[in-house]
Amino acid sequence: MKQYLLSVHMVEGAPMPSMDEMEAAFHDVDVFNGELKSAGAYVFAGGLLPATSATVVRVQAGEVLLTDGPFAEAKEQIGGFWVIGAADLDAALAWAAKGAAACRNPVEVRPFQDDVEA
């Protein structure tokens, strides 16, 4: 079974949902997580604080440099994610559709690299 990253994208400038909408989304995500677990597809998941809370770490000429804020200057940033196990991309896309409906945000699907023998 391959592993896939389902990343939830938060869109800068999008209107904030009401508290009722947020509570409904939290409930639906809990239900979705339960479905993933029941199916044996759940590996790990988590929500992230806003991209403004990020710190970028670089090493240049042996010196560690820290920069506040997100690495990518973009209108969309990752707001959360699931790592799932799925038989193939089609199965991962089906899970992503359910996840996008639950969290009410776009979900990007990316496979993990296969282990490469040296």
Nearest-10 Cα torsion for 82, 84, 88, 94: -50
Quick check: is 49 in a domain? yes
pLDDT surpassing 60 at residue 118: no
- Helix, strand, coil share of the chain (percent; to 5): 30, 35, 30
Count how many domains the chain has.
Answer: 1
**Residue range(s) defining the domain that contains residue 70:** 2-111
User: Quick one: pLDDT at residue 3?
Assistant: 95
Q: Each residue of 60-107: pLDDT tens digit?
A: 999 999 999 888 777 788 889 999 999 999 999 999 999 999 999 999
> Which of these, 78, 82, 80, 79, lies nearest to 32 by C-alpha position?
82
Quick check: is 92 in a domain? yes
Q: What is d(CA 85, CA 18) in angstroms, rounded to the nearest whole number?
A: 33
Quick check: is 116 in a domain? no
Quick check: is 76 in a domain? yes
What is the CATH classification number for the domain harbouring 14?
3.30.70.1060
104, 9 contact by CB (below 8 A): no
Quick check: is 15 in a domain? yes
pTM (2 d.p.): 0.86
More confident residue, 96 or 118: 96
The 8-class DSSP code of residue 46 comes to E
